[in-house]
């Protein structure tokens, strides 16, 4: 097993543990047991549980971001891009249970400023929000999104407006409501 394999095995075990019990509910010993490695190997790659958590968080947000924006690069119309982002987010919420649980469980900790880990995690989440906000802003500049829409507020709504425990049909209703609120009357 290579170093990258060991590191990834630890990250995947930590992701599973954090998804089940949250950051504060898991010990490094539990993560080592799930990964099938010695605790010292975890500390070889990650000096602290916070460092490991941040890597899991970043890995999770990267996965979400890749899922949201993976399909839109080839899309030329902003309305199509926004629709794909919303559809991809619903797909993500219904198919990526571990990542979804980590993000939902730990979002409340992002306002903590007592530890560097939470500050870095918050910044990474804000970067995702900013990317969504920039898409909304560009669509607004192209007259696809209504003039009175605040791109930052719209990004916040997209990331927090869906109940991930709702049915797909209910999420699609929320998607439609968000679209109606965003889209310029010229596009309807």
Instruction: Give the pLDDT confidence score for residue 188 in this predicted structure.
Output: 52
Question: Do 56 and 15 form a contact (C-beta atoms < 8 A)?
Answer: yes
Question: Do 22 and 105 form a contact (C-beta atoms < 8 A)?
Answer: yes
Beta bridge partners of 183: 145
Length of the chain: 188
Domain boundaries, the chain: 48-182
| Phi/psi-derived region of residue 36, left when phi > 0, alpha when psi is between -120 and 50, beta in every other case | left
With bands split at pLDDT 50, 70 and 90, how would you rate the model's confidence at 116? confident
In this predicted model, what pLDDT tens digit does every residue of 118-144 receive, in sequence order?
888 889 999 999 999 999 999 999 999
With bands split at pLDDT 50, 70 and 90, how would you rate the model's confidence at 1? low
Angstrom distance (rounded) from CA 112 to CA 23:
13
Q: For residue 12, what are the contacts with CB-CB under 8 A and spacing of at least 6? A: 35
In this predicted model, what pLDDT tens digit does every residue of 20-57 receive, in sequence order?
998 889 999 999 999 999 999 999 999 999 999 999 99
SS3 assignment, position 45: helix
Pick the CATH number of 48-182 from 2.40.128.50, 1.10.357.10, 1.10.10.10, 2.40.37.10: 1.10.357.10
With bands split at pLDDT 50, 70 and 90, how would you rate the model's confidence at 3? low
Output the CA angle 44-29-8, nearest 5 degrees.
Answer: 50
């Amino acid at each position: 097993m290579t170093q990258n394999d060991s590191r990834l095995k630890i990250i995947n075990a930590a992701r599973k543990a954090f998804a089940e019990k949250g950051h504060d509910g898991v010990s490094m010993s539990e993560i080592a047991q799930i990964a099938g490695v010695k605790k010292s190997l975890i500390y070889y790659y990650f000096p602290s549980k916070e460092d490991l958590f941040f890597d899991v968080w970043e890995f999770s947000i990267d996965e979400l971001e890749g899922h949201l924006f993976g399909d839109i690069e080839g899309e030329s119309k902003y309305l199509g891009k926004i629709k794909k982002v919303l559809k991809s987010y619903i797909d993500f919420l219904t198919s990526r249970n571990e990542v979804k649980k980590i993000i939902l469980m730990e979002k409340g900790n992002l306002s903590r400023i007592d530890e560097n880990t939470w500050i870095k995690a918050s910044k990474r989440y804000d970067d995702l929000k900013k990317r969504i906000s920039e898409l909304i802003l560009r669509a607004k500049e192209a007259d696809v999104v209504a003039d009175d829409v605040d791109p930052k507020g719209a990004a916040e709504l997209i990331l927090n407006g869906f109940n991930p425990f709702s049915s797909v049909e209910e999420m699609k209703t929320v998607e439609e409501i968000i679209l109606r609120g965003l889209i310029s009357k010229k596009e309807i």
